[in-house]
A and B are shown apart, each in its own frame.
Chain A
Amino acid sequence: DQQVKQNSPSLSVQEGRISILNCDYTNSMFDYFLWYKKYPAEGPTFLISISSIKDKNEDGRFTVFLNKSAKHLSLHIVPSQPGDSAVYFCAARGRGGADGLTFGKGTHLIIQP
């Protein structure tokens, strides 16, 4: 049973517009949510995180929103740039802190010129 779901395998957005990537989760015990970006043949790189007690976190062009009642989070990228084309993984951390992350299957974001 998938605890972290990314239901859109791919998303195409025009350069300069907003990209919105979505993620749903089922386990209410997760206390942090993280987004990772992955280019082909490379390891994932950390992008931004949000605590379960917050509803928004912003870092430059990247903003993550958390709706706990809906068990839903989203990553907004504004404005989208060609270098943003990559696979984005949503991940969740349990309250154990040092325990591993639970990942979604990823969304392939394609930025069109």
Chain B
Amino acid sequence: NAGVTQTPKFRVLKTGQSMTLLCAQDMNHEYMYWYRQDPGMGLRLIHYSVGEGTTAKGEVPDGYNVSRLKKQNFLLGLESAAPSQTSVYFCASSWEGGTAYEQYFGPGTRLTVT
């Protein structure tokens, strides 16, 4: 049982390049989330999904797209990377069986855009 995994762990992009971050969970959780964390800041919600085939915008969605084609996977895409998207990205999943819908996080992807 790996929990939540993220691929890749590190990436350096040039401005204007595109990439996709992959999140996978093996806990059969219904809900999945993408957050970003910047230095000295808390985590901020980018997009989330309440089920396969659904997505919704969070607090900071601009410049990102997401897809949830399979229940266990949640993809985060950057179509044209900008230096402002340099950050650590965390994926999380949760389910309504938890007391507080507590979220389980992956180890993070550190992205640098030059």
Contact = CB atoms under 8 A, between A and B. Distances in A.
Interface of A: 4, 6, 9, 32, 34, 36, 41-46, 49, 51, 89, 91, 93, 97-106
Contact of B35 (A34, A49, A100, A106): A100
Given A43-B105, A44-B90, A105-B42, A34 B30 contact: no
Contact of A97 (B41, B58, B101): B101
Given A100-B45, A103-B42, A103-B44, A49 B108 contact: no
Given A34-B102, A42-B107, A43-B107, A100 B42 contact: no
B65 to A, nearest CB: 17
Contacts of B108: 41-43
Contacts of A106: 42
B64 interface: no
B interface SS class: loop
B31 interface: yes
Contacts of A44: 43, 90, 105
Top 3 closest A-B pairs, CB basis? A103-B42, A43-B105, A100-B45
Nearest to B101: A97
Contact of B101 (A6, A32, A41): A32
Interface in B63-114: 90, 92, 94, 96, 99-108
A100 B101 CA distance: 10
